[in-house]
């Protein structure tokens, strides 16, 4: 595998479910990011991890819980989501958080019923 991978690619969940999104980067980067992409809206930064430490939480509701066990893996744990949370969730990585060049995964298309 090369680049940034995300699983699952599609996820449908009810509002009471708990699920997790996984991201893995094979680029040797030290910073990883979660973004939310909704139709016709700019990418919304959610979380930033730099060398496994969370450095940014962009006022994200607590029903989204990130986890970064090492520099190569990033998770987004989902719990009691709302229908308006339906979106494409993108993971990205960069050399470190001072590096502008981000590499994106293909995203997880999330639908909350």
Comparison of 40 and 69: residue with beta carbon closer to another protein: 40
Report the alpha-carbon distance of residue 42 to residue 35 in Å, rounded. Answer: 10
Per CB under 8 A, does 60 bind another protein? no
Is 103 buried (19+), middle (13-18) or exposed (0-12) by CB count in 10 A?
A: middle
Cis ω on the peptide bond leading into residue 8 (within 30° of 0)? yes
Where are the alpha helices (H) located in the chain, listed in sequence order?
Answer: none
Q: Which stretch binds another protein (CB under 8 A): 14-22, 43-51, 61-69, 74-82?
A: 43-51
Q: Interaction with another protein in 67-106: which residues (CB under 8 A)? A: 90, 92, 97-106
Taking CB under 8 A as the criterion, the residue among 2, 16, 42, 69 binding another protein is 42
Show the CA angle centred on residue 33, arms to residues 86 and 68, nearest 5°: 100
Per CB under 8 A, does 41 bind another protein? yes
What residues make contact with another protein under the rule CB under 8 A?
A: 4, 6, 33, 40-43, 45, 48, 55-56, 90, 92, 97-107, 109
């Amino acid at each position: 595998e090369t680049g940034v991978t995300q699983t699952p690619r599609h996820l449908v969940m009810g509002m009471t479910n708990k699920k997790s999104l996984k991201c893995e980067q094979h680029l040797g980067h030290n910073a990883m990011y979660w973004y939310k992409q909704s139709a016709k809206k700019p990418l919304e930064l959610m979380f930033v991890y730099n060398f496994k430490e969370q450095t940014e939480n962009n006022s994200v509701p607590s029903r989204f819980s990130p986890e970064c066990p090492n520099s190569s893996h990033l998770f987004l744990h989902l719990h009691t989501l709302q229908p308006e949370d339906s979106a494409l969730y993108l993971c990205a990585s960069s050399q470190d958080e001072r590096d502008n060049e981000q590499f994106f995964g293909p995203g997880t298309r999330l639908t909350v019923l």
